[in-house]
Amino acid sequence: MTGRLAVTRADAGDGHPTATYEHELLAGSLTRKLMLPYRARVRARSLDEFDGWVRHDGEEFLYVLTGVIRLYTEFYAPVEMKRGDSAYYDATMGHNVVSVSAEDASILWVTSLS
């Protein structure tokens, strides 16, 4: 039996800023993960800030940590979500997240790496 452990201290993950999000990758020291956990600060306020839908292989779990977001998906009506709300969806379906609160929202995302 083997055991693996990765601890990421607050604000110590690997940063990956984009035009719409500021991602902080968690558990970066582990290789061959089956999930990609990361915290994101949502800076986008409109769908116009995206260059089309985000889509990729796998499934995704989203959990709102602070603020209020609107989750847009290709096949469903937009959903407004606040702290403590979560969503699980097929990541091959187009999706985007915008902050609708005065401050940037923060979310925890976990993406499967199948």
Tell me, yes or no, whether 66 lies in a domain. Answer: yes
Please give the mean pLDDT across all residues of the chain: 94
For the segment 16-32, the average pLDDT, to the nearest whole number, is 92
State which residues form the domain around 20.
Answer: 14-112
Q: What is the pLDDT of residue 1?
A: 57
Tell me, yes or no, whether 4 lies in a domain. Answer: no
Tell me, yes or no, whether 2 lies in a domain. Answer: no
Taking only the tens place, the pLDDT of each residue in 39-80 is: 999 999 999 999 999 999 999 999 999 999 999 999 999 999
Q: Half-sphere exposure of residue 28, counting CA atoms within 13 Å on the CB side?
A: 14
CATH of the domain at 57: 2.60.120.10
Give the angle subtended at the CA of 21 by the CAs of 17 and 23, to the nearest 5°: 55
Number of domains making up the chain: 1
Give the angle subtended at the CA of 84 by the CAs of 64 and 17, to the nearest 5°: 15
The residue type found at 49 is E
Tell me, yes or no, whether 3 lies in a domain. Answer: no
Tell me, yes or no, whether 1 lies in a domain. Answer: no
For the segment 87-114, the average pLDDT, to the nearest whole number, is 96
For the segment 71-96, the average pLDDT, to the nearest whole number, is 97
